[in-house]
Chains A and B, each alone.
Chain A
Amino acid sequence: MNEDLPLNAEDIAEIAAIIEASPYRELDLSTRRFRLRLARADGADAGMTQEWQWAGSAPEAAPAEAEHAADPDAVAAPLPGTFYHAPQPGAPPFVAVGDTVGPDTVVGIVETMKLMNPVHAGRAGTVAEMIVPNATMVAKGQPLIRLA
């Protein structure tokens, strides 16, 4: 989609050196394809910075984080990701409706950026409802499991 990649690390280093040796504070360059701003950073020890903006790189809007009413009886997702009931496909779920749990009981996992994060019940109680089905994308704070 384009002829050549603009400016490698050596090019940037050379331009930065030119600006550093000059009385100028920054270079702001706009082309049809990109905008590059090379500037001195704030702070005594700081060096130069490079900021890029690309024409055509306008990502789709992220799924809006749903607002969730605080549900005191629900275990909420500690972070966004995929909620799993079981440690691996085919394995029995961590908990089922009717199970008694303590604050430290693991009731599920949320996979975010390839890391498995355990979800703890947070308080003692009995599992009343699995609100969110297995392997579902959830927002941070979304109620996952209702405790009675």
Chain B
Amino acid sequence: MIRRLFIANRGEIALRVIRTARAMGITTVLGVSSADAASLPALMADETVLLGPGPSSQSYLAIDKVVPAMVDANCDAVHPGYGFLSENAAFARAVAEAGIRFVGPDIKTLEGMGDKLAARALALEAGLPVLPGGEAATPEAVHARAAEIGYPLLLKAVAGGGGKGMRRVDRAEDLDTVLDMAQAEAQAAFGNAAVYAERFVAKGRHVEVQLLGDGTHAIHLGTRDCSIQRRFQKLVEEAPAPAMPEEARAGIENAAVRLAQHIGYRGAGTAEFLVDATDFSFYFLELNARIQVEHPVTEAITGVDLVEQQLLVAAGKPLTLTQAMVRPFGHAIEVRINAEDPEADFRPAPGRITRAAWPAGQGIRVDTHIAAGGEVPPFYDSLLGKLIVHAPSREEAVARLKAALASIRIEGVPTTAGLHARIAADPRFAAGGVDTGFLTGLAQ
């Protein structure tokens, strides 16, 4: 049993966790930075604890502040959300040493999967295909690896996820400059500057599989397609992956379950794959050992509350769901409404929200921590909220998305809502199954 849950996160995901915890009769304690002290999640949590000043390094990322805060608050479990400390093995260890349950996988899984290179090795062991590439510890090693892989290539943070520290390199002469930026981003986001190199696939689709495991058994909750990305940040996510033969989808789902079984995965996780848009061959990219931003599309089609499943498994319960019980229905699409300026190359745009009219209606879910008067501090990511639509067919879901985007009014900061309206109106999107190069072909 979990009685008092500490939430080591902020924004919409903190609110999301509070919602389910509340429904399960669990008391919530939210750690906040001073910049978030008057945020909606802070208002909604049963209790709040001040962690420190705004910058994440002094609050949400400071293990030496977060762990004592949950001990002082008498919590018996901690939900880390996504980002921040969610996949940090040192954090999970400190939590365990304090006698508190970590809502996430085993420490050894975090060590194996948090290090994206080790994850590649585990996937190979489980018989999953991976892309050419690998370790590159020093600038010289990066150059050697790059020569072997060829251009264009991707630099990725070893400790990474969420696109932070990920940069594309097109020419050898750009490598050093881009490496500096990638390392700086990796350092800022994860406290670890290490990066590695992998082949860049131009006509690829990003398809992922939602997994649930209890350490003994693992099941999947179907695919999500997150191919529409900018700066390696996902913009649109849908479930299931559209325009893909049933056997290709099943092949990817089974590979993901094989990996989860191989490592004795516990909790909710996501196996990410790069899928060739033409022949549907697939390569394992990484396993995200946490709840994903885009988890609501899976919840929409399966009816499973993933945060509830996380909390049950963390409390030591075996999975009660079986593969046969998961019966996806219809199609769901999520768009991320970010505070970004379309006039300035979608640069993050912090500020005060003067009006927040979110869509409402049948088949519409909005996960947001932003209401009128809400502040978007410059310290964190630019996500204002997620608009999720669900309908019996993809065609109807796209129509519902268009209507919802025509209604949304967010004022005070520029947002990505207009970009999403253009995406929803694009015939390629309507057809479904676009690759990661979709945005470059988008009409202005």
Which residues from chain A sit less than 8 Å from chain B, CB to CB? 1-2, 4-5, 8-9, 12-13, 15-17, 20, 38-39, 41, 43, 45-54, 56-60, 62, 78-82, 84, 87-89, 91, 106, 109, 111-118, 137
A111 / chain B contacts, CB cutoff of 8 Å: 188
Determine the residue in chain A with the shortest Cβ distance to B339. Answer: A113
A88 touches B187 (CB 8 A): yes
B55 touches A82 (CB 8 A): yes
Chain B, range 350-401, C-beta contacts under 8 Å to A? 350-352, 355-366, 371-375, 377-382
B407 touches A41 (CB 8 A): yes
Given contacts A5-B18, A48-B359, A50-B357, contact A57 B373 (CB under 8 A): yes
A-B pairs with the 7 shortest C-beta distances?
Answer: A41-B407, A113-B348, A9-B365, A50-B360, A49-B357, A59-B375, A46-B407
B38 touches A51 (CB 8 A): no
A54 touches B43 (CB 8 A): yes
- B122 contacts partner chain A, Cβ-Cβ < 8 Å: no
Interchain CA distance A60-B374 in the complex, whole Å: 10
Interchain CA distance A56-B45 in the complex, whole Å: 13
- B317 contacts partner chain A, Cβ-Cβ < 8 Å: no
Which residues from chain B sit less than 8 Å from chain A, CB to CB? 18-19, 22, 37-40, 43-47, 55-56, 164, 177, 180-181, 183-185, 187-189, 193, 231, 339, 344, 347-352, 355-366, 371-375, 377-382, 402-404, 406-409
Across the interface, B361 reaches (CB within 8 A) one of A17, A79, A89, namely A17
Interchain CA distance A54-B351 in the complex, whole Å: 18
Given contacts A1-B43, A20-B361, A51-B356, contact A113 B403 (CB under 8 A): no
A57 / chain B contacts, CB cutoff of 8 Å: 38-40, 43, 371, 373-374
B407 touches A49 (CB 8 A): yes
A80 touches B357 (CB 8 A): no
A5 touches B44 (CB 8 A): yes
Given contacts A49-B407, A117-B347, A118-B181, contact A62 B352 (CB under 8 A): yes
Interchain CA distance A50-B380 in the complex, whole Å: 25
B177 / chain A contacts, CB cutoff of 8 Å: 106
Across the interface, A8 reaches (CB within 8 A) one of B19, B350, B362, namely B19
Interchain CA distance A59-B355 in the complex, whole Å: 14
Closest Cβ–Cβ distance, residue B178 to chain A (whole Å) = 11
Interchain CA distance A59-B192 in the complex, whole Å: 32
Interchain CA distance A112-B18 in the complex, whole Å: 27
A49 touches B22 (CB 8 A): no
A116 touches B360 (CB 8 A): no
B381 / chain A contacts, CB cutoff of 8 Å: 113-114
Interchain CA distance A77-B184 in the complex, whole Å: 18
B361 touches A113 (CB 8 A): no
A8 / chain B contacts, CB cutoff of 8 Å: 19
Across the interface, A43 reaches (CB within 8 A) one of B47, B180, B344, B407, namely B407
A13 touches B185 (CB 8 A): no
A5 / chain B contacts, CB cutoff of 8 Å: 18-19, 22, 44
A2 / chain B contacts, CB cutoff of 8 Å: 43-44
B344 / chain A contacts, CB cutoff of 8 Å: 79
Given contacts A60-B38, A113-B382, contact A87 B407 (CB under 8 A): no
A118 / chain B contacts, CB cutoff of 8 Å: 181
A53 / chain B contacts, CB cutoff of 8 Å: 371-373
Closest Cβ–Cβ distance, residue B299 to chain A (whole Å) = 10
A112 touches B348 (CB 8 A): yes
Interchain CA distance A51-B385 in the complex, whole Å: 13
Q: A5-B18, A87-B184, A115-B185 are in contact. List 19 more A-B contacts (CB 8 A).
A: A8-B19, A9-B365, A13-B362, A41-B408, A43-B406, A45-B406, A47-B359, A47-B403, A49-B409, A51-B357, A51-B371, A52-B372, A56-B43, A59-B373, A79-B347, A91-B180, A109-B181, A115-B348, A116-B185
Interchain CA distance A8-B56 in the complex, whole Å: 30
Interchain CA distance A16-B219 in the complex, whole Å: 36
Determine the residue in chain A with the shortest Cβ distance to B183. Answer: A88
B379 touches A113 (CB 8 A): yes
Interchain CA distance A111-B377 in the complex, whole Å: 13
Given contacts A48-B361, A59-B39, contact A88 B406 (CB under 8 A): no
